């Protein structure tokens, strides 16, 4: 099931998710030595990374759906979806705070991996396709 789901994704989305995972691992490896509560930091970072993955997939889905609308309807739809994503962030932070799950700074760092992954995606794309060209 997971293999089929990943197979249906575009290369760009797969590379974005890989970037999220790579930067999440890098953040964890660097910052784990400096935090007093390592468990809370790790849970928060994983929660933020999970949120980043969900937001990335939702953005991809929203863009695909908006292509089916007229320009005016697509703009309205994308604004609604952006507000929905912001709401997801608020809900996750609120739930984590109320349930005392994870460090809020770690959740933010995990969420920020979406940004790092998006900026790093072209580099990953070149690296991955360079390896494919060398195999030929």
* pTM of the shown model: 0.88
128: number of Cβ within 10 Å: 13
Intra-chain end-to-end CA distance of the chain, in Å = 30
- Residue 10, pLDDT score: 87
pLDDT in tens, 52-85: 999 999 999 999 999 999 999 999 999 999 999 9
- The rounded distance, in Å, linking the Cα atoms of 4 and 45 is 27
List CB contacts of 125: < 8 A, sequence separation 6 or more. 11, 12, 15
12-46: pLDDT as tens digits: 999 999 999 999 999 999 999 999 999 999 999 99
* Segments making up each domain of the chain, as ranges: 12-135
CA distance 116 to 54: 15
Q: Are 40 and 110 in contact (CB under 8 A)?
A: no
């Amino acid at each position: 099931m997971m293999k089929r789901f990943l197979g249906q994704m575009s290369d760009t989305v797969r590379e974005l998710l890989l970037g999220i995972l790579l930067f999440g691992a890098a953040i964890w490896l660097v910052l784990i030595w400096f935090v007093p509560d390592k468990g809370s930091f790790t849970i928060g970072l994983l929660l933020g990374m999970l949120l980043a993955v969900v937001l990335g997939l939702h953005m991809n889905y929203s863009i695909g759906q908006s292509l089916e609308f007229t320009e005016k309807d697509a703009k309205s739809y994308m604004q609604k979806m952006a507000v929905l994503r912001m709401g997801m962030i608020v809900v996750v932070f609120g739930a984590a705070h109320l349930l005392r799950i994870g460090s809020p700074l770690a959740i933010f760092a995990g969420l920020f991996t979406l940004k790092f992954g998006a900026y790093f995606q072209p580099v990953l794309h070149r690296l991955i396709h360079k390896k494919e060209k060398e195999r030929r």
